Chains A and B, each alone.
Chain A
Amino acid sequence: MKKLVSLILTITAALALAVPAMAADTIKVGVPLAMTGAYTDTGDNYWKGIKIAIDEINASGGLLGKQLEPVRFDTQEFAPERVMQGADYLCGKMKVDSVHAGWAGWGQDVRAYGKYTAPFFADDGSQSAVDVFNQDPKKYSNIYQLTDTDINQASSMFRVLMALPYEYPNKKVAIITADDAWGTGVGETLAKNFKKEGWKVALHEEVPYGTREWGPILTRIRKAKPAIIHLEIVSAQEVITFFRQFMESPTKSILSYGYSIVPREVVQTMGTEADGIIGEVPTAMPTPIAPTPEAQAWVENFKKIWGHQPQAGSWAAYSGVKAWAAAVEAVGDAKDHAAVCKYISTKGYKGETGWWKWDESNVMRAGGDVPIGHYQVQGGELVTIFTDPPVKPYKDFKFQTPRWCK
């Protein structure tokens, strides 16, 4: 019996000691990101931006004289209890003074972190997250979205597709999306917009992550010969296999990858083979030449540290940390969460490309100094060809007709 009691006490002690002790003279910053599971790559993108911001602040003497201390939490695959656990751990137990996430639960995160006061920055890009916020804006006043919603991003994709300096051979589109909240949201909005413009949606398929065999879908595409194929699955293997199987017998279709262009592996694996594919990034840092000298310096610094161009999410997450830090500097107290949130909501933040202003739903709407960037792969790298809204060609970079459409 004694041994059993000691076993239970050991487990109890292990539970209590599960979290390492933290230094007291630092400001803790919560970072709930996917470190394992299907979303590891996107989690890594956000972490790269967050780490640069924290390192920069610490190197310049810290925030209010204190060093920032990141406290990471593995959100895994965003199961509801895991999202809640992250909030309870970071805000409840670790008492962090801000939380910087990326994809964070598409609405579940608003509920989980909304019961605490620490400013929470997410990159959900999801109308459902905004809907939850709007149910009780006062309660969720600490929740900030770093990008516009799926609906607005899809509308932006549509506007740019219609603005391309290219004569479509017909008015048929094929839409293939992942069967998650992001994919279905984008797919439905695109289909609605195309139909409104008199286009025919020749194919609209939702597929699960992990789809690698595209034969049946490509057969239908080859039969329909759509002028545009939009693929929205934010995972490198799926979009690479689609492209390679499509290229075995390509139709004269503009390949629009939307946000699926962002996994770094897409251009890294395919290089110039991917030339011609187009895609979009919300809260974008336009590349290869940034819009301002400060932004260009940021891009160069990112490349120096990580060895490649910034991916989607890195700059958004970086800016979230900086916006919070600027507010804390102004308020003079990282613990005064209400004042920090009020400052962010009312004053915004001056970043590398200009001003960040959140709307009444605490969403960083696309436009102004922080537009949606639309890219084309050219020379094996992502090149910004348009920004939106409003649709504007970016610098001297031009759309190039893909080789399979000539």
Chain B
Amino acid sequence: MGGLMAIIYGGLAIMPLFVGGVDYMMHILIMILIWAVVASCWDLIMGFAGIFSFGQVAFFVIGAYASAIVSNKFGIPPFFSIFIAGGIAAILGVLVGLPCLRLKGAYVALVTFAVHMILEPFLKGHMGRAIGTGGSRGILTIPPINIFGYAFTPDNKVAVFYLTLVLAVICSVIILMVIRSFWGTAFLALKDSEDFSASLGVSAFKYKLAVFALTSFLTGMVGGFYAHYVGMLSTRMLGIDLFVTLMIMLVIGGIGQFPGAILGAIVTVTLNEMLSPLGPYRPLILGGLVVVLVLLLPDGVIGLLRRIFGGKRKTREAEA
């Protein structure tokens, strides 16, 4: 897991050497890193903890708006406001998680997706406007992250890329550590058999709530980072397009196959961009590809890599 993650991020880290001068390509790479974290968080809660949460995009948007409002209204530097945004998303994540503890499967999906559905009218409505969301117009002026006087603006994408890379690596390492720890084992145990794991002393309440808090915090923080990178926000992020794209990332990477979500983000964003000139045929081809991939690679790209390298290792062992 860790080795593969290092290779993926290492590969991405050298990309500016080839495309550093092309803003468009750097923007794609930055978005790959941002979506990689969001998809990985989604994978942690859904793939590992077995909670069918459909609220990840909502927590991302909550984080984005929270950080923008906190920095705009209270003058808090964006470097700190993204952590505050993560905290706000985590608190809301716990609040959403509490009723979900009493639910299972599709019902959890319904409750969490309801958060997604409620968010848009809230942000656009009177209550949203009152807290500074800008209503339907959105927020059009968000300051960039500034560290020791250096502003990470969209005009300097290489610098933003490396800052995003640092954030993505930190988030991924946290997710990896959680998966490898007792917590990760507890998540898997609860996913496989909640009753049996409870009989062994694994508290569903504690771990499920913890995973809601952690994934919401990381997703919200990355949402905050996104807001200060693009410098403007609108509720158009809550469209079905992003939701489906993130889901495709998970499916392509392999659900519960960390760091598959990171690979899924790379493949999906790249495919999406390559197919973009095809206009209306893009979603059609992308959808078709997903169907084929699900049928041929049920464990995603990670499953394929495992099959290739696992197969080779077995052959070597047999030869030895």
Residues of A whose CB lies within 8 Å of any CB of B are 3-4, 8, 11-12, 14-16, 18, 20, 35-38, 40, 72-74, 76-81, 84-85, 88-89, 92-93, 106-108, 111, 115, 126, 128, 131-132, 135, 179-181, 183-185, 206, 208
Contact = CB atoms under 8 A, between A and B. Distances in A.
9 contacts: A8-B7, A8-B11, A72-B279, A74-B276, A92-B24, A131-B140, A179-B125, A181-B136, A184-B136
A74 B279 contact: yes
* Chain B, interface SS category: helix
Given A37-B241, A74-B282, A84-B230, 12 more contacts: A11-B266, A15-B270, A16-B25, A20-B277, A36-B283, A72-B279, A77-B239, A80-B138, A80-B237, A85-B28, A107-B140, A108-B232
A79 B239 contact: yes
Count class of interface residues, chain B: 35 or more
A18 B23 contact: no
Interface string B1-19: 0001001100100010011
B241 A76 contact: yes
Contacts of B121: 179, 208
A36 B280 contact: yes
A92 B23 contact: yes
B15 A12 contact: yes
Contacts of A107: 137-138, 140, 232
Contact of A88 (B23, B242, B283): B23
B273 interface: yes
A1 to B, nearest CB: 8
A88 B231 contact: no
A131 B274 CA distance: 35
A37 B230 CA distance: 21
Contacts of B277: 20, 72, 74
Given A11-B270, A16-B19, A77-B241, A3 B308 contact: yes
Report which residue of B18, B236, B242, B309 has the largest number of chain A beta carbons within 10 angstroms of its beta carbon.
Answer: B236
Interface in B126-164: 135-138, 140-141, 154-155
B114 interface: no
Nearest to A90: B24
A306 B201 CA distance: 70
Interface string B103-138: 000000000000000001100110000000001111
Contacts of B241: 37, 76-77, 79
Given A15-B19, A106-B137, A179-B136, A36 B232 contact: no
Given A79-B234, A79-B242, A184-B135, A14 B279 contact: no
A184 B133 CA distance: 14
A12 B23 contact: no
* Shortest beta-carbon contacts, A-B, top 5: A35-B279, A92-B23, A88-B24, A93-B24, A88-B23
Contact of A183 (B11, B136, B230): B136
Contacts of A77: 236, 239, 241
B136 A85 contact: no
A77 B136 CA distance: 14
A48 to B, nearest CB: 14
Given A85-B27, A184-B136, A111 B232 contact: yes
A84 B280 contact: no
Contacts of A8: 7-8, 11
A15 B136 contact: no
B233 interface: yes
A85 B272 CA distance: 13
A11 B137 CA distance: 37
A128 B7 contact: no
B176 interface: no
A108 B234 contact: yes
Nearest to A92: B23
B267 interface: yes
Contact of B24 (A36, A89, A131, A132): A89
B226 interface: yes
Given A15-B28, A107-B232, A108-B234, A179 B266 contact: no
A180 B135 CA distance: 8
A79 B237 contact: yes
A132 B309 CA distance: 54
B140 to A, nearest CB: 5
Contacts of A16: 18-19, 25
Given A81-B230, A88-B24, A14 B274 contact: yes
A397 B270 CA distance: 54
A73 B236 contact: no
B27 A84 contact: yes
A88 B274 CA distance: 15
B305 interface: yes
A18 B230 contact: no
B31 interface: yes
Contacts of B231: 80, 111
B234 A80 contact: yes
A12 B23 CA distance: 16
B136 A180 contact: yes
Contacts of B289: none
A204 to B, nearest CB: 12
Contacts of A73: 276
A16 B15 CA distance: 10
A107 B135 CA distance: 14
A360 to B, nearest CB: 20
B177 interface: no
B122 to A, nearest CB: 11
